[in-house]
Structure 1
Amino acid sequence: MASAAQTQPGGTESLTPSAVNHILMEFVIYFGRAVAVFYPVYLTGYLGLSISWILLCMLMFTWWQKNRRWKDVRIDSAIDLVDNESHIISSELKNTLQMASWVHFTDVEKVQWVNKVLEQAWPFFGMYMEKLLRENIQQTVRMSNSALKMFKFTKIHFGHKPLRITGMRAYTHEVDQREVILDMNIDYDSDVDIDADVNAAITVGIKGLKFQGMLRVILEPLISQAPLVGGVTFFFIRRPTLQINWTGMTNLLDSPAFSSLSEEAIMDIIASLMVLPNRMCIPLIDQLKVDEMRFPLPRGVVRVHVLEAKDLVAKDTYMMGMVKGKSDPYVTLRVGNRHFKTKTIKESLAPKWNEVYEFVVHEAPGQELEIELFDEDRDKDDFLGKYNLDFGEVKREKEMDQWFHLEGVNNGDIHLKLQWLSLRTESSLLNESNAGLSCAMLAVYLDNASNLPKDQKELTVHHKHGKHSKEARLTKKNVGPNSYVEFTLDKDVQKSKVAYTSKNPVWEQGFNFFVQNVKTQQLTLQVKDHEKKSVLGSLNIPILRLFNISSMCLDQNFPLERSGPDSQIKLKVTLRILTEERPPPKIPVSSPSNVKQQNRQVKAGGNAAAATPAASAAAATTAAATPAPSSGAPVASSPGLPGVPLDGTNKAASPQPRRNSFLASETSKPSNPNMRRYDSHSLLSENSIASSRFDLTDGASFPQAIRDHQGSFGEINLTVRYATMRNKLMVLVHACRNLFPCSDSGTDSYVRIYLLPDNSWRHRKKTHVKRKTVKPVFEEKFEFDVSLEDAQTRQLDVSVKNNKMFRKRERTDIGMLMLDLSQIDLVKGASDWFELTIPGLSRSTRQSHF
């Protein structure tokens, strides 16, 4: 290809006919606009009309422009409603009505037959619960505290309103072939009536409660013999919601000061039994291990970086609300029954926390990260927004670093970085960090203990005499202690539930700990008495002991120290190495130089195919003999050509410079006379404009500042999707960031788009110019009238340009991007930040991705 600017022997540059045509075309358009604006003013003065006519015309034009803009907004809103009708309607219904989940999600079934079964069996369920409360729960309450020894249920009636399942979703293809997973949305609006006597003077009761939550039921393993299912496991992925109407003395708990306390305490009890990582398990065959059902190894670990927030709502006011202040924001993070709180940033609407938290993930998809922002106050903290993120997205993406818009408020965004860490057993993958991050995870399953001493007195007597005391031998019944187990790993302390009056307690609970240093840390275990807090036995397990075992697991009875001679505790301790997984391969973004070179070859028709081997050899010889540019600029490698290294070390096989690059303008010479036809068209020729993308300085050299730039050329945020109902390809240009600064005050930038191979001036799309900024926000939408099949074969040519016209004969590109639409699911759409490059100039190592 001939370059747009040719160097004369004297060292001066001359414009090619193509560049002259483009300059003339732009000048004619510019002159026509000037005439259209100033001629009416001149005509008014020439005819001696009043200046009021000009003002009237300007007023009418302004009114028309405003009305037109409002009309465009209404049309765009209607179009968006048509394109996203189901999503908008479902979101509006979800916000305004409490509808069943099968209305919102198409894959959730309306299981009326299950509700009919529950309605028929509900009286018998009430009889079973009455027996359970009187025989088991009543005894447990009496033993929990000496003040409740007279506790007794006087009335138990579970009402006439049965539990309802508002929707059920079955997972079969997404899971293992030997299991079935069911998610059931439970809604229990009950007329339950329960009364109890604490003592002769105090009566408590419940009359009505509301309970909502999603229960996950896992049927595994599927077997080839009756009952076809080895066991049933059920649990709540997230904490359910509970509202209770108290009666009797517990009416005090209905007051605002106590209601949250009482319901939170009950929810904590439910969470300790049935909210992940806790599960309820029912084995149906003898061969199934209960510990593997109740406490399987987690799916992975998610590391959450709470970085910053912006545009938060100002909640602090002064002078009786007349003066708006700022907020004192903090963030709460909750996954199941595990929650954290960040530090509070005083008086800021754009706080920066830069804190890291780690969560064990048992079910992905399913478990969610619940984020809430509050403004800290002396009385009650004000709500600043919330956001829920399913860990299934993090597991799929492996790493997410983006802004999330807060829900429940008008404005506000939070910046999070999330990493998925897999659990491995290879010791070579251990990577300890000096920043305090975890390198491993420790899973502990606490099964039971045996032969515990009753108290510290019995332990002291035994150590002194070496045998049981006479009082103990003569006692007819030796009641065991109320014991629990306390685990400690550095500052992380976790406690088990209390096992009452047993020397052989059974806990069957699981715990997880994060390990920062395998060599120095150790797990400390203490069995304690619930009332006296005295130690009944202890055990230390160094983490290095597990690390040196090939399976990194210990499953055995451990003898207790500072306890009885036969006191033991059964544990299963498993160590797993945390390993960061790389994100999946992203959609490849073609180099603009390769795509444009292919388009020129397609346009050339059979000329390239008709070239003789001798001509090809001569062209190769000419290319090899072309000297390197004296300016010292690096030669651009061509990733699209096989056998050519990316670092350009293969000098003999270096590809021809791109026509629109500064190398082509300085070094390349037209070797084929037929190529001059692209530069010899008339001013009205469409091909002459198409050959250079309608850019005035296309083919000229880049400015010296861009050639000397060593970093990235910035990023652009695009959304690409196909509107099937309108049969149009939609391209939304949101914003750019970190653009190349063309001056001290920033850059006057705009975005130009072509849908290749349509690259004439009639097909060009461009945004408005954003002045004096390197982070322009456009938020403009462009439409291309193509079919879906045709769009999937096209490529999107995007260029960010500096708006400097008639100033220098230099290229205005400050960043380019080529998207291959065949690699994108256009119906679903894709939105992301893309790396901008200058072919032959960019030294950035990052790649654009979805």
Structure 2
Amino acid sequence: MASTQASLNNANTKLPPDLGMSWQNYVVRTLASVILMVSCWAVGHYSLSFLWIVIFTALYVLKTHLWIQREDQRMRLRTVALREREFVMAQFAQLGDLPAWVQFPDTERIEWVNKVIQQLWPYIGEYSKQFMREFIEPQVRAQMPSPFKSFKFVNIDMGDMACRVGGLKVYTQNVGRDKIIVDMDVVYAGDAEFTVAACGFTGGLNQLVLSGKVRCVMQPLLPCPPMIGGISGSFVELPKLDFNLTGMGEFVQLPGLIDAIRTVVNAQIANLCVLPNKIVVPLAPNVDVTKLYFPEPDGIIRLKIIEARNLVNKDFSIGFIKDKSDPYCEIRVGSQLFKTRTINNNLNPVFNEHFEAVVDQASGQMLRIELFDEDTASADEELGRLSIPLDIVRQSGVLHRWFHLEGCKHGELHLKCSWYNLSTDLKNMAQQSWESEWLSTDKPMHPALLMVFVDTVSELPYPKADLEPSPFIEVTLGRTSQRTPVKMKTVNPLFQSKFTFFVKQPEGQELKFVAYDDGTKRAIGELTIPLLSLMNQPNMEMFQNTFTLTHGVHTSPIVLTLRLRTFASVAEADTFFDQSIGRTYGTASHIERADSNRVANNHTSKPVNGDVISTEPAKTVDNGMMLDAHNINLTVNSPSIAESNSSTLRHHHGLQDRIRRSKHGRSTFREGEIQHFGDLQLGLRYDDLRFKLIVHIVAARNLNPVEKEGQADPYVSVKLYPVNSKTPKVKRKTGVVENSLNPHFDNQFELDIHYSDLHNYKLQLQVKDAINYGVLSRPPILGTLEFPLENFNREEIIDNRWFKLEGGHT
């Protein structure tokens, strides 16, 4: 530890001058201080309310705090980008977030690539200027309100500091022989600076920080130089982005406004280069790179957000007015973003909402779900999040169960996720048994997917005499419309844009193409294609066919690729649904329902289409009613997913609940009087593929109670400690089993730790009592088990073994 700190200190003393804080960094803060002082003087001089001083001061303090946070993050990332392995490990070890090349043996650290990028950076900068002016600028103009149509880049300076590749992984399995797939962890914390003009004002941004995983696909492979026909690049997920505004933008550096600007920027990045969107660069002439521009997706997922329970309360209660969180879910698959409705004042919301999304590449992509508490007066607060690898959904076919939420003290989410492969078989369009659940949903579900690739258009007409058009194509199916980027001043635009449409009944629908001039907003060509004609084609595909846009007597050739694919179910039934076991769930001690009137009216109803019926307090749900929500086993383990199997458990009470509950007394024990503390049944194994230590808390027996009447509400606290530290790296806890000295928990937790680091950690398990012994009293420890991992053999499995608990009752 001392050597690590010494290396960290040495690294800090050797920082290059450009990493230091120059006097220019403080100009804005000094001017803000002067403005604040003048404002305070004006308030006193003109006898205004003292409240104005309070408002000015609060805004200044908040703005300064955010500025310091961004500066600290930028300096840390920039320093990390320039240091060697030891410094990187020292920096990230405190955060528990080591880079991929440190954690995973199949991810390589390629320093030579960073040296090549540094040498190429001036030329990359010149290409970036051209790309942003020709591609980004027209797109921003098209999506801006009319007062901002004059948006343009005044100055683009990519700086001297290049982006850095932190780790690289080449996929060698399940990849076709005609392509190469590479994933790279890219970090940029450089000195780029952009200046833009709009509405007569000039502003810009600098101190750009960006990090994310970039996937590069090289295809097709050629038997002659340059050996690669083209390369496509895209972020697997939305990258992390931060920046500072300059010029007039400095006046909107307030939390609400700057967050809105970041949202717009993130949307532009997602539309540009987050899967399934990508940037394609052809490398060889006369090579068909349509597969790079227009690859077929891996499949489709249908998602049902059923309900959540035991969420954290982010709202405050005032007096007798009890306010609770207003939860909603945000779902993200690549660049696709969905949102459920908000359930007001409820910690156990029932959503029953359905979504479907296209999965471009299941390998490496995640299904991310975040729960938020909606606030009208401030930013929405996070209630928890969940990440599920889409590759696991594809392998499993159906996932249907409760999941523990991460990033919060407690909370669970119940969902069902089904995977569908794409097929050319028209028989899948017919209603099948597996579709019955999705036919009566809150929004339409579709049996087919239409993929459209707009390649080129030639000889477009002039909208006015001597006025060259700036065309774009609007593609419409039913009520859904999508559009290509604008190509500036050309009658022969090269679009190479792809679109996807979910199709309900293709036999009677038409696909419409309309070419518009962005300057005059006039239509300069139209084309309509019935989907029935596409269904009659071999494999329901038209590849690089030439059609005609018509505008009066003028015709313009347009090259299109169209594909229609039906959905083929992977599993006709939920393969993880265990019908041999029945349990009860839903008593008042298990879950506190916010809307008891609605619950009471519905508790005798049967579930329809998989909907969850909330239970009336103090009554138990019929086994058949709730069987599908529990007793589900995963055959494929998932990273960052802790198994929730707590149908006999209740959750931990908060402070207010402890105050309302009756206080219990404790027995007095003499020193040495207690001879035993009971036993704990434990399962332990290590997953080499995902670098996870899996801890299975099964049960406990013969616990020695602290409560004077001999009662106990036990639960187990799981902590992972570094050997020479008193601060745990990971903390987890099971649910509470009420009034039992022989509780059955059956909870499983996955702890992130590399196998090479196991010997540096120990596992501490404590059985605690959740009975209320006073508001200020800590839960007493009924027994403790310490498990050093130094001698743990990761190739062996500890399966449901009993261990003797050591001393407790503190």
For residues 132 and 500 of structure 2, the distance between their equivalents in structure 1, rounded to whole angstroms, comes to: 32
For residues 331 and 530 of structure 1, the distance between their equivalents in structure 2, rounded to whole angstroms, comes to: 37
For CA contacts below 8 A with separation 6 or more, give which structure has more relative contact order.
1
- Report the counterpart of residue 567 of structure 1 in structure 2: 556
Does 1:577 pair with 2:585?
A: no
Q: Structure 1 length as normaliser, TM-score?
A: 0.54
- Amino acid in the other structure paired with 2:172: T
For residues 157 and 387 of structure 2, the distance between their equivalents in structure 1, rounded to whole angstroms, comes to: 37
For residues 131 and 452 of structure 1, the distance between their equivalents in structure 2, rounded to whole angstroms, comes to: 25
Match of 1:350 among 341, 348, 351: 348
Tell me, yes or no, if the aligned pair for 1:317 and 1:323 is still in contact at 8 Å: no
Tell me, yes or no, if the aligned pair for 1:223 and 1:229 is still in contact at 8 Å: yes
- Report the counterpart of residue 504 of structure 2 in structure 1: 516
SS in 2 for 1:414: strand
SS in 1 for 2:571: coil
Does 1:309 pair with 2:308?
A: yes
Tell me, yes or no, if the aligned pair for 2:230 and 2:282 is still in contact at 8 Å: yes
Tell me, yes or no, if the aligned pair for 1:278 and 1:509 is still in contact at 8 Å: no
Deviation at 1:505, TM superposition (A): 2.5
Does 1:503 pair with 2:491?
A: yes
For residues 135 and 734 of structure 1, the distance between their equivalents in structure 2, rounded to whole angstroms, comes to: 55
Tell me, yes or no, if the aligned pair for 1:718 and 1:733 is still in contact at 8 Å: no
For residues 244 and 516 of structure 2, the distance between their equivalents in structure 1, rounded to whole angstroms, comes to: 36
Deviation at 1:715, TM superposition (A): 7.9
Q: Structure 1 543/148 Cα, relative in aligned 2: closer, same or farther at 3 Å? A: closer
For residues 572 and 313 of structure 1, the distance between their equivalents in structure 2, rounded to whole angstroms, comes to: 49
Match of 2:336 among 305, 322, 338: 338
Could you give the per-residue CA deviations for residues 218-251 of structure 1, whole angstroms, max 9, x where no partner exists? 1223333322323222111111122122222222
For residues 501 and 134 of structure 2, the distance between their equivalents in structure 1, rounded to whole angstroms, comes to: 36
Match of 1:373 among 357, 371, 395: 371
- Report the counterpart of residue 204 of structure 2 in structure 1: 205
- Report the counterpart of residue 461 of structure 2 in structure 1: 453
Tell me, yes or no, if the aligned pair for 2:461 and 2:554 is still in contact at 8 Å: no
- Report the counterpart of residue 179 of structure 1 in structure 2: 179
Q: Structure 1 829/172 Cα, relative in aligned 2: closer, same or farther at 3 Å? A: farther
Match of 1:540 among 519, 528, 536: 528
SS in 2 for 1:365: coil
- Report the counterpart of residue 420 of structure 2 in structure 1: 421
Tell me, yes or no, if the aligned pair for 2:221 and 2:227 is still in contact at 8 Å: yes
- Report the counterpart of residue 745 of structure 2 in structure 1: 779
- Report the counterpart of residue 359 of structure 2 in structure 1: 361
SS in 2 for 1:317: coil
Deviation at 1:736, TM superposition (A): 6.3
For residues 301 and 139 of structure 1, the distance between their equivalents in structure 2, rounded to whole angstroms, comes to: 32
- Amino acid in the other structure paired with 2:526: S
Deviation at 1:280, TM superposition (A): 1.7
Could you give the per-residue CA deviations for residues 775-823 of structure 1, whole angstroms, max 9, x where no partner exists? x9721699xxxxxxxxxxxxxxxxxxxxxxxxxxxxxxxxxxxxxxxxx
Tell me, yes or no, if the aligned pair for 2:576 and 2:635 is still in contact at 8 Å: no
- Report the counterpart of residue 164 of structure 2 in structure 1: 164
Deviation at 1:512, TM superposition (A): 0.6
Tell me, yes or no, if the aligned pair for 1:717 and 1:735 is still in contact at 8 Å: no
- Report the counterpart of residue 192 of structure 2 in structure 1: 192
For residues 127 and 228 of structure 2, the distance between their equivalents in structure 1, rounded to whole angstroms, comes to: 24
Deviation at 1:148, TM superposition (A): 7.3
Q: Structure 2 length as normaliser, TM-score?
A: 0.57
For residues 720 and 496 of structure 1, the distance between their equivalents in structure 2, rounded to whole angstroms, comes to: 43
- Report the counterpart of residue 22 of structure 1 in structure 2: none
Tell me, yes or no, if the aligned pair for 1:308 and 1:352 is still in contact at 8 Å: yes
- Amino acid in the other structure paired with 2:491: K
Deviation at 1:563, TM superposition (A): 4.5
SS in 2 for 1:356: strand
Tell me, yes or no, if the aligned pair for 1:231 and 1:282 is still in contact at 8 Å: yes
- Amino acid in the other structure paired with 2:336: R
Could you give the per-residue CA deviations for residues 542-568 of structure 1, whole angstroms, max 9, x where no partner exists? 322222223201242222355443134
Match of 1:549 among 534, 537, 550: 537
Deviation at 1:311, TM superposition (A): 0.9
- Report the counterpart of residue 29 of structure 1 in structure 2: none
Could you give the per-residue CA deviations for residues 296-336 of structure 1, whole angstroms, max 9, x where no partner exists? 1111111111111111112233327x864322211111222
SS in 1 for 2:227: coil
For residues 481 and 714 of structure 1, the distance between their equivalents in structure 2, rounded to whole angstroms, comes to: 58
Tell me, yes or no, if the aligned pair for 1:452 and 1:564 is still in contact at 8 Å: no
Match of 1:482 among 462, 466, 470: 470
Could you give the per-residue CA deviations for residues 408-431 of structure 1, whole angstroms, max 9, x where no partner exists? 211111111111111111222323
Q: Structure 1 218/558 Cα, relative in aligned 2: closer, same or farther at 3 Å? A: same
Could you give the per-residue CA deviations for residues 575-618 of structure 1, whole angstroms, max 9, x where no partner exists? 001110128998999x99xxxxxxxxxxxxxxxxxxxxxxxxxx
For residues 345 and 210 of structure 1, the distance between their equivalents in structure 2, rounded to whole angstroms, comes to: 35
- Amino acid in the other structure paired with 2:556: S
1:818-837 aligned within 5 A: none
Tell me, yes or no, if the aligned pair for 1:438 and 1:514 is still in contact at 8 Å: yes
For residues 743 and 632 of structure 2, the distance between their equivalents in structure 1, rounded to whole angstroms, comes to: 9
1:255-334 aligned within 5 A: 255-319=254-318, 324-334=322-332
For residues 564 and 265 of structure 2, the distance between their equivalents in structure 1, rounded to whole angstroms, comes to: 33
Q: Structure 1 310/137 Cα, relative in aligned 2: closer, same or farther at 3 Å? A: closer
Could you give the per-residue CA deviations for residues 459-518 of structure 1, whole angstroms, max 9, x where no partner exists? xxxxxxxxxxxxx4xxxxx33323322222233222222222223332211111111123
For residues 93 and 136 of structure 1, the distance between their equivalents in structure 2, rounded to whole angstroms, comes to: 37
Tell me, yes or no, if the aligned pair for 2:327 and 2:344 is still in contact at 8 Å: yes
- Amino acid in the other structure paired with 2:185: N
Q: Structure 1 584/229 Cα, relative in aligned 2: closer, same or farther at 3 Å? A: farther
For residues 830 and 231 of structure 1, the distance between their equivalents in structure 2, rounded to whole angstroms, comes to: 51
Deviation at 1:207, TM superposition (A): 3.0
- Report the counterpart of residue 221 of structure 2 in structure 1: 222
- Amino acid in the other structure paired with 1:284: L
Q: Structure 1 397/826 Cα, relative in aligned 2: closer, same or farther at 3 Å? A: farther
Deviation at 1:272, TM superposition (A): 2.5
Could you give the per-residue CA deviations for residues 178-205 of structure 1, whole angstroms, max 9, x where no partner exists? 3221111111001224446669x74333
For residues 253 and 323 of structure 1, the distance between their equivalents in structure 2, rounded to whole angstroms, comes to: 36
Q: Structure 1 115/583 Cα, relative in aligned 2: closer, same or farther at 3 Å? A: farther
- Amino acid in the other structure paired with 2:571: R
Q: Structure 1 351/781 Cα, relative in aligned 2: closer, same or farther at 3 Å? A: closer
Rg comparison, structure with higher value: 1
Percent sequence identity over matched residues? 31
Deviation at 1:448, TM superposition (A): 2.5
Q: Structure 1 574/171 Cα, relative in aligned 2: closer, same or farther at 3 Å? A: same
- Report the counterpart of residue 236 of structure 1 in structure 2: 235
Tell me, yes or no, if the aligned pair for 1:733 and 1:779 is still in contact at 8 Å: no
- Amino acid in the other structure paired with 1:168: L
Q: Structure 1 424/212 Cα, relative in aligned 2: closer, same or farther at 3 Å? A: same
- Amino acid in the other structure paired with 2:473: V
1:660-671 aligned within 5 A: none
For residues 481 and 551 of structure 1, the distance between their equivalents in structure 2, rounded to whole angstroms, comes to: 37
Q: Structure 1 95/451 Cα, relative in aligned 2: closer, same or farther at 3 Å? A: farther
SS in 1 for 2:489: coil
Which segments of 5 or more consecutive residues in structure 1 lack a partner in the other structure? 1-89, 459-471, 473-477, 593-708, 722-731, 739-751, 756-763, 783-824, 832-850
